[in-house]
Amino acid sequence: MVEFNHDEEKYVREKPQRNWRSFLFSSLIGAVIGALLTVFALPYLSEQGMLPYSLQVIESRGGQRAAEQGGAVRNVSVNVNNEVTQVVSKVSNSVVGVINIQKTGVWDEDSEAGTGSGVIYKKNGATSHIVTNHHVIEGASQIEVSLNDGTRIPAKLIGSDKLMDLAVLQVNSNKIKAAADFGNSDKVKTGEPVIAIGNPLGLQFSGSVTQGIISGTERAVPVDSNGDGQPDWNAEVLQTDAAINPGNSGGGLFNIDGKVIGINSMKIAESAVEGIGLSIPANLAIPVIDDLEKYGEVRRPYLGIEMKSLGDIASYHWQETLKLPSNVTSGVVVMGVQPVSPAGKAGMKELDVIVEFNGDRVYDIVDLRKKLYTKHVGDTVKIKYLRSGKEQTTEVKLSLSKLGS
């Protein structure tokens, strides 16, 4: 019994040692097989385009040992360049920081009131032009631009437009390295990959790159341009899930070809919302940029009236004050008329209710402005309106815009 117990005890103690050796041998075999699979599988996956990077296999017959065995040495190098890194390398110098400098008091020195982003879109001789957002430079007494290498240069405001939230700056070209090209935003498709470049949270994170897709096109976002709490314009924007944060405003939204398809403008910031960034489409921005560059303002036609959507007026006044027929439920109410304005010259008066513009039904202020801004200064349009419930028509010759009229 004693010897049996002794042998049994010896067996029990030696068993873990044999398990450890088996485990080590199995691990070694697994590592070798895994390495061989990696060496031979990665080049195949790269050739099939199944990797986000490319592999370059270099074969050489060098080394004394390889020569003796008659074998080949395979050097596998990983090339991490892909379409995104190529775009960033191409356009990063065209994205800049925009610093809004303001004087807070009569005796105070100028200080930075905020920072945003901008895109150099033109380098022409001694001067270059940058597009950014109106709200980035609003109220600035001075403006500076921070280039990709950290160099800061002064900038001159050429013009800005509050309605489209765009502004054009001019700088000296001697330190400008590159300018970006605009793409055709009308051809952008939902699901298309895009890259946003800007300065989120200030210059500390300048040149930050985020990647995403186009989540939606032709999104309409209500805009209150005059601060009365009522939307008076619908901004048409591109929606993307590429991260856009404070400081990104005015930066570029680039397609995979490195073309600017949008100017990043805003983000829907609510606790229940994630990944909704908005960008002004390039095709809508270009005419505004051209006007700002040439005239310092956007040359829009205007009527010369103060307006209010019929839907924003208590229904009690529809019949009692405006004398509207019961079938009229939409339109724009004239709250005031400038005497020498196009509308004033055409005979329009306070409390007229505009129901048609050039043959098209008018629903509200946003709708009327959208129709109005498709016309040009000098065009003549027909306006149908109701005065004390009676339908009238007049012709209005449009003149140069004054925002909100």
Domain that holds residue 20: 2-80
Annotated catalytic residue: which of 161, 165, 241, 367? 165
Please, what sign has the CA dihedral across residues 150, 152, 157, 162? positive
The question of whether 279 is a catalytic residue gets the answer: no
The question of whether 135 is a catalytic residue gets the answer: yes
- Strand segments, DSSP code E, in 199-314 are 208-223, 233-240, 252-254, 260-267, 277-281, 301-302, 305-309
Buried (b) or exposed (e) across 9-20, using 16+ Cβ within 10 A?
eeeeeeeeeeee
User: What tokens appear for 393 in the block?
Assistant: 């028509």
In a domain, 343, yes or no: yes
Q: What is the CATH number of the domain that holds 209?
A: 2.40.10.10
Which of 240, 257, 288 corresponds to the end of one domain?
Answer: 288
In a domain, 294, yes or no: no
Indicate the number of domains in the chain: 4
In a domain, 293, yes or no: no
Position of tokens 């199944």? 50
Annotated catalytic residue: which of 117, 249, 265, 405? 249
Are 318 and 249 within one domain? no
Position of tokens 């945003």? 116
pTM (two decimals)? 0.70
φ/ψ of 36, rounded to 5, equals -65, -40
Which of 31, 55, 80 corresponds to the end of one domain?
Answer: 80
In a domain, 371, yes or no: yes
pLDDT tens string, the chain, 405 residues long: the values are 433 343 333 333 333 344 555 555 666 666 666 666 565 665 665 566 555 555 555 554 444 554 455 555 555 555 555 788 888 999 999 999 999 999 776 666 677 888 899 999 999 989 999 999 999 999 999 999 999 888 999 999 999 998 899 999 999 999 999 999 999 999 999 999 999 998 877 777 778 899 999 999 988 887 777 677 777 677 889 999 988 877 888 999 999 999 999 999 865 544 445 568 899 999 999 999 999 999 999 988 989 999 889 998 999 999 999 999 999 999 999 999 998 899 999 999 999 999 999 999 999 988 898 899 889 899 999 999 999 999 999 999 999 865 444
Measured CA to CA, the distance from residue 354 to residue 52 in angstroms comes to: 57
Neighbouring residues of 330: CB distance < 8 A, sequence distance ≥ 6: 310, 311, 355, 361, 362, 363, 364
Annotated catalytic residue: which of 135, 160, 185, 352? 135
In a domain, 104, yes or no: yes
The question of whether 249 is a catalytic residue gets the answer: yes
In a domain, 391, yes or no: yes
Are 75 and 99 within one domain? no
Position of tokens 């019929």? 310
